[in-house]
Structure 1
Amino acid sequence: MNSPTRPTFNLLHQPWIPVRPADGGPVREVGLRELLLRASEFGRIDDPSPLVTVALLRLSLALLHRALRGPKNAEQAAEWFQGDFPAEKLEEYFREWEDSFDLFHPEKPFWQLRGLTLELEGGKYRSHWTRLGTEVGSANTLPLFNVAGRPGGERVDSLTPAEAARRLVEGQTFLLGGLIQRFTTAAKAAPVATFALTAAQGQNLHKTLCLSLVGYAGQDDDQAVWEREPLTVEAVRLYHDDGRADVPRGRADRYTWPSRSVLLVPEEDENSAVRVTSIGFAAGIPLDGPPEGAGSNIDPMVTLRPPSNPKKPELFPLKLRREQLLWRDLSALLPDPQNDLRVAGKPGQEDFQRISGHPPGTLTHAREVLDYAGMGEQHLGVTVTGLLSKEGKAFAYRQESYALPSVFVSDAETFVTYVNRALDDAKGIGEALQKATARLATEVISRGGESALLKNPQEAKKTVDRLVQTLPGLGAFWAALETPFRVFLAELDAPQDARNRWQAAVSREARRAWEINLQGAGGDGQVLGFAYRPRRSDGKYQPSPQAILDRALKVINPAQEANT
């Protein structure tokens, strides 16, 4: 790894990417060359951090796109899926760009900014390596998430070159925006820093790469970061001084965008081994346009959804949310228009139009690849990874995995229809449960009358809202439905049977959740009386809380509810 004159660490050849062998052996590290040429021998990239894992996947896809100048379409990707990548093309590309993958190259260090030395401007740009790791010490990380950043917390003082390379790739992909005061006052976030990133999963790493290697035609001007002319301190500073921004030339450029100016500084320890403790760190190249891209340059891993506000019809990227798992938003990932938005007017009027969501290209592509490969009866694994943040601070990351049944490939229309119906079932019952709980809380607070509410309506409403928030039934309802929904997906090859079982599960969990709320509100005879008592207010009939839930359950499952 070390030469007599300077340290080197070539990412094509040196082991640094953790992989799980397909035969179930222990995780080991490989270089990029071995990763791609022997991808069928590995089950998956397997770093402890899902952020590092997906960042390494994006780097691998960018390298394949540039080396193979493809695939032209899903049909060519299917040929690779059933065979191998063209090894000669890969080897030729590796030879051409070998020097550009040296982590410590003096002129063009990989994905870094030459000249950003620790002595530059009196050490102004010096930082600790933890600035690169979202969960290990970045200034944009909450202490609850960042154990090492807590008072008295322990952190690793230095990294091996392999560890430093992984943190570099993670940081360039996921660092959040914020105050930096190096080239600029505030740096922008990496393009996909907080988006939910979707990747298709195959039976081994080779198939996973093919399934996520979305058609690459018409991107002749594209450049990966290692193909760019090496950036200099002067060039990056000009971007910020002049208020300019750059536009990604294509997908590989987007996958390897220089979000930060970084320079890893190698040092020798007492055993003459190369370590990285300090780094040069500053703002990177400002990105022009929406971070997820537009037109044919939309990031294939990103899902775009229509907004709820018809006055702002721009699509927005899907993000993972703290309060709910992704399965409740699964329709956003589906290959047909979802969540259409009425922009203006009413159906039948000339000014009525709809804006459709944009599903992740990786998922649509994977379905087409399996279809071309004649594997329409195969289940498809999907992972969705994202960094969760609030007010510029990261507080968690999450990776969710789903197995989509063969009907997703063989009959997408049926799959979409039944998934949407299932989610509508759960949403409708969830809303009824929430409404019934609010009515119950109102009855409990007013003790069955209106006088307490009429004396101070605003204070009464706050008291009712507080009681509703303390009742755990709705949260329990959604939590209990995750496993039945996964079962529903697995059984969708027989869609009507799967839906019947799903509706039974929704009804069962709704009644359990309602019982939890009744007990939480007191559980005595008086509370039960409130639950079953209708009310006439201002001359209008209001159904009892129990009736609100019962009516909703009869809509989704009339046969079962008739026997309840």
Structure 2
Amino acid sequence: MFSYNLVDEKWIPCVMPDGTTEDFGLQEVLVRAPEIKELLDPSPLVTVSLHRLLLAILHRNFGPSSLPKWQELWNKGKWDENVLKAYFSTWRQHFNLFDDERPFYQSCEINGAEIHPVIHLALESASGNNATLFDHNNDDRFSPILPAIAAGYVITTQAFAIGFGKSNPFYFSDSPLIRGLTTMVLGNSLFETLTLNLVIYNDERPFPRSSDDLPVWEQKELTVPNKEGSPIKGYVDYLTWQSRRIHLFHENDMSVRNCQIQQNLKLPKQMYSDPFKSFRKDKERGLLPRSINPKKAVWRDSHILLQTSDTEYKRPEVFNWLARIDEACRFGAIQAKLAYKMMITGLATDTGKAASVLLWRHERLPLPPQYLQDENLISKLKEALELAEDAGRLLGSGFIEAEITDKRGKRKTIRVPSPLRILASELLLKDQDGKTDPEAAKTLAESLSPGRPYWAALGIAFNRFMIDLAADKGPDGKTYGEKTLPEWAKEIRKAARAAFEETARSLDRTGRMLKAISKAENEFKNRLYNILKPYINETTEGGEK
């Protein structure tokens, strides 16, 4: 029998404090977690999936059933090595990737199932309908891969496989993480990261569990697939949900070239809230995972991700858990210097198309603990982000709202073309009535795309701003941003002007072109000045001396 046992084979990629990389087996990665900076795979999907696998093992062995129990784990600063060794000794055979009877997280060879190249398991590869996501090399789709890589693919497929498409015993259905954003908290070491995400686990939380809530490798009788949805036995069952029947075919050197994959367990229609997901509230369908906006980086809506109370959204439960930890820290129950970051990962899929992934997002943002509980701070963050959006619309291809005063002195809102739309209209030939084709103007404006460098520049500045804003608290103890909001406004101005000027420089320098640029630029500067005027106390055009 071939054996590649995940307990002690080195297959989990990690980063050490000095920046070097090292691979570990399951037992060693948990025992040495305090020495490891982070678990990091080239694929963000694998990174998230491996964290969830480790969390399932930790919940099974350590709970914690309450905050005091969690505090005991945290204050020890490491996992009990004897407990881990005993656990892996008991279940060692079930962690063999190529076991003849029960290969890890797989099935035995599936009679009648089609055989695919193993790369079929990797959403991030250009395979089938999917665009290349994390890698840009699809020339070796039929080459064998190392068992360490194959193990990551199997675990990630169980978490991130997309629904739609024919299979057996019924159509493919979504895996737990394919819809919405997954948000995890990052600490200063792998031990801190895992412990911070180790939410209370008991009979009721994070959702009700039965007596047979076990990770899939411990389950004596596996759940039978049901096209109406299979019941979730508890949180650990959910973390190790076997959404696909997978079988790896290994070569004599234990490399893997081919695989089989079929539908297995379908999630029930009535789902509990994954503690790492944020939700929007739908009047008819209840809580729905907040999805990725393909046109918008996650940080641009970070205030929604953090809101403590909202009638429209529900933030990840892990943030509420972290707020409790932070409170315990402030009262001295936990000895720690809590410096957090958050890791947000998700996919955007093409609705109604089988296994079609449009793009992925993987962002890391700072998470000063003040954002966990202070609505005044979150409100000020929202104000800063809305200011950036207002300026960003000037670089868009459509129409934007503007307030004017009519002849009777009343304020009203009208729709006006963006400066970029004005530029496009001036560049196009006009018909006999002196008008330009609106669709042609929109297409030309979109092709110029100054919004991309604008948002890229602001994204770099945002991380520092988010930290500085939390520290910029007024003497009343309630207000924020007296110093940082004007600085943020200047960053917006700098990024917006640079993006517009770069677009202008890319155009020909004919007389007609220069006239069009001048008209659009004057409109752009005036509107940008009016947007930023409340924050930048300068009087020259565009708010810039």
- Specify the TM-score bucket, using the shorter chain as the normaliser: 0.7 to 0.9
Secondary structure of residue in 1 paired with 2:346: strand
Q: Could you tell me how far apart the structure 2 residues matched to 1:77 and 1:306 are?
A: 31
Secondary structure of residue in 2 paired with 1:364: helix
Q: 1:169-207 deviations in whole A, cap 9, x for unaligned?
A: 1211122223243333x3112121243221111111111
Give the alignment's TM-score, normalised by structure 1. Answer: 0.78
The reply on whether 1:166 has 2:152 as its aligned counterpart is yes
Query: How far did residue 244 of structure 1 move?
Result: 3.1
What is the identity, as a one-letter code, of the residue corresponding to 1:361?
Answer: E
Counterpart of 1:405? Answer: 368
- 140 and 40 in structure 1: CA distance in 2 versus 1, 3 angstrom threshold: farther
Q: Could you tell me how far apart the structure 2 residues matched to 1:77 and 1:259 are?
A: 30
- 432 and 79 in structure 1: CA distance in 2 versus 1, 3 angstrom threshold: farther
Contact 2:159/2:175, CA 8 A, preserved across alignment: yes
Alignment of 1:332-347 (within 5 A): 332-337=304-309, 340=310
- 526 and 133 in structure 1: CA distance in 2 versus 1, 3 angstrom threshold: closer
Count how many residue pairs are aligned between Structure 1 and Structure 2: 500
Alignment of 1:109-508 (within 5 A): 109-114=103-108, 116-117=109-110, 120-121=111-112, 124-136=113-125, 138-142=127-131, 147=136, 149=138, 153-155=139-141, 157-184=143-170, 186-217=171-202, 218=204, 219-221=208-210, 222-231=213-222, 235-236=224-225, 239=226, 243-267=227-251, 269=252, 273-289=253-269, 293-294=271-272, 298-306=273-281, 314-337=286-309, 340=310, 355-374=311-330, 378-390=338-350, 391=353, 392-408=355-371, 412-434=374-396, 435=399, 438-440=417-419, 455=433, 460-492=437-469, 493-494=471-472, 495-508=481-494
Q: Could you tell me how far apart the structure 2 residues matched to 1:360 and 1:91 are?
A: 33
For structure 1, the residue ranges without an aligned partner over 5 or more in a row are 1-5, 341-354, 534-543
Counterpart of 1:3? Answer: none
Query: How far did residue 56 of structure 1 move?
Result: 0.6
Give the alignment's TM-score, normalised by structure 2. Answer: 0.80
Q: Could you tell me how far apart the structure 1 residues matched to 2:258 and 2:82 are?
A: 39
The reply on whether 1:9 has 2:4 as its aligned counterpart is yes
Q: Could you tell me how far apart the structure 1 residues matched to 2:95 and 2:544 are?
A: 68
Query: How far did residue 312 of structure 1 move?
Result: 5.4
- 442 and 319 in structure 1: CA distance in 2 versus 1, 3 angstrom threshold: closer
What is the identity, as a one-letter code, of the residue corresponding to 2:321?
Answer: H
The reply on whether 1:108 has 2:99 as its aligned counterpart is no
- 518 and 139 in structure 1: CA distance in 2 versus 1, 3 angstrom threshold: closer
Q: Could you tell me how far apart the structure 2 residues matched to 1:397 and 1:425 are?
A: 26
Q: Could you tell me how far apart the structure 1 residues matched to 2:196 and 2:503 are?
A: 45
Secondary structure of residue in 2 paired with 1:187: coil
Q: Could you tell me how far apart the structure 1 residues matched to 2:287 and 2:228 are?
A: 25
Q: 1:515-547 deviations in whole A, cap 9, x for unaligned?
A: 4566678786633664489xxxxxxxxxx6654
What is the identity, as a one-letter code, of the residue corresponding to 1:54?
Answer: V
Query: How far did residue 444 of structure 1 move?
Result: 5.6
What is the identity, as a one-letter code, of the residue corresponding to 1:195?
Answer: G
Q: Could you tell me how far apart the structure 1 residues matched to 2:242 and 2:318 are?
A: 23
The reply on whether 1:553 has 2:499 as its aligned counterpart is no
Q: 1:9-31 deviations in whole A, cap 9, x for unaligned?
A: 33223332222234x27423222
Q: Could you tell me how far apart the structure 1 residues matched to 2:178 and 2:153 are?
A: 14
Counterpart of 1:348? Answer: none
Query: How far did residue 504 of structure 1 move?
Result: 1.9
For structure 2, the residue ranges without an aligned partner over 5 or more in a row are 401-415, 473-480
What is the identity, as a one-letter code, of the residue corresponding to 1:288?
Answer: P
